[in-house]
Structure 1
């Protein structure tokens, strides 16, 4: 379970204060996948980063008793001066995984060839994305965070990514951000709508989507 207790998050500029969450208390129940909806700028990605633990709230507490992924496909966390393999080894150790197994899986999945031993700063954006997605699939999580994942590689590689993700999600929940409502319907059981600092829970994802459309009229 993922639980928010009186969580507040805001950003302050010289001009004004932008409130993302205002004393929000909510639970993401195990066994369900949630779509997080909201208009552009509402703070969906910020909320997901707080769930991932890469950003802290200003106040309140986020409690987790399950293994949560980083946002799926995220490549921004790689150290550019380290090789692909060195980055994989570092992440595997951080998560208590077998280093050889993770490196072997990603090397085979990402299809980077000798570039696996080159610094990540020499990678194209597509190569970094393949490395990141492979790493996301190499480590099993109880809950996968998906923030507007984009297609990676050519049609053959995209098919490979979809197959790997479908295999993982059979035994895991998903928290997903997407502006594609068909994608939300395909993957999510319940919905949450982020609006004016509140996170409104809907037991049916279709109800969340209807409320989202009303906001965008």
Structure 2
């Protein structure tokens, strides 16, 4: 469970230092296990801020977030992987940090990522695609109850995206996403609940389809 109680985050405006900007304010909601939830956010509207607030890497200006269960690091956060260490060493470090079984996680890494011999090479020798595979596979290997997602989740080659989608579908009883994204295809594929963050306010809709339709109208109006 992730519970938002009157959550707000404020920044000083870059254009006018005397002005305070609220990318999100008065947000209250409960995200429960088994119901993947998306907050659709227009470009520059606070996707990263919202995910970082849940992760705890950003401090709230007001309100509170109560976290229950194991919550992942943001999927887009590449600082979780050290370029100096091998893929295998990175995974061992993460399993030690999060109290997971290394042998099981390593078996999953070898099978799912298809990195082959590269798991024993320093990550600095990886291509961008290989780094993405290592980072995402390591994330899935931790068996988090809640996984924090933004647009970066769908990076990489199409074959790996399909494998990931199939894995999530097959394990939907144990994986719950919380997303802040502008990618409606991602939301349609994985989520059972959706809202829109616009001008600092989150509005939930009766269905994912209705949220996506309303989000399209907001984007059309902005462009």
- Report the TM-score, using the length of structure 1 for normalisation: 0.86
Contact conserved, 1:71 with 1:146, CA < 8 A, in 2? yes
Displaced runs of 4 or more, over 6 A: none
Give the 3-state SS of the residue equivalent to 2:95 in structure 1. helix
The question of 1:152 aligning with 2:156 is answered yes
Q: Which runs of 5+ in 1 are unaligned?
A: none
Correspondences of 1:128-143 after superposition (within 5 Å)? 128-143=131-146
Aligned match of 1:34 = 37
Post-superposition offset of 1:178 = 3.9
Once the two structures are superposed, the pairs formed by residues 172-191 of structure 1 within 5 Å of their partners are 172-191=175-194
**What is the rounded CA distance, in whole Å, between the counterparts of 1:113 and 1:172 in structure 2?**
26
Partner residue of 1:214? 217
Residues 74 and 161 of structure 1: CA distance in aligned 2, closer, same or farther (over 3 Å): farther
Instruction: Give, in angstroms, the shift of residue 194 of structure 1.
Output: 0.7
SS in 2 for 1:212: helix
> CA shift at 1:204, angstroms?
1.8
Distance 1:207 1:13, change over 3 A: same
Q: 2:25 aligns with which of 22, 27, 36?
A: 22
Structure 2 CA distance for partners of 1:168 and 1:56, relative to 1, 3 Å: farther
Whole-Å Cα distance in 1 between the matches of residues 140 and 171 of structure 2?
A: 7
Structural RMSD (CA): 2.3
Count of aligned positions? 216
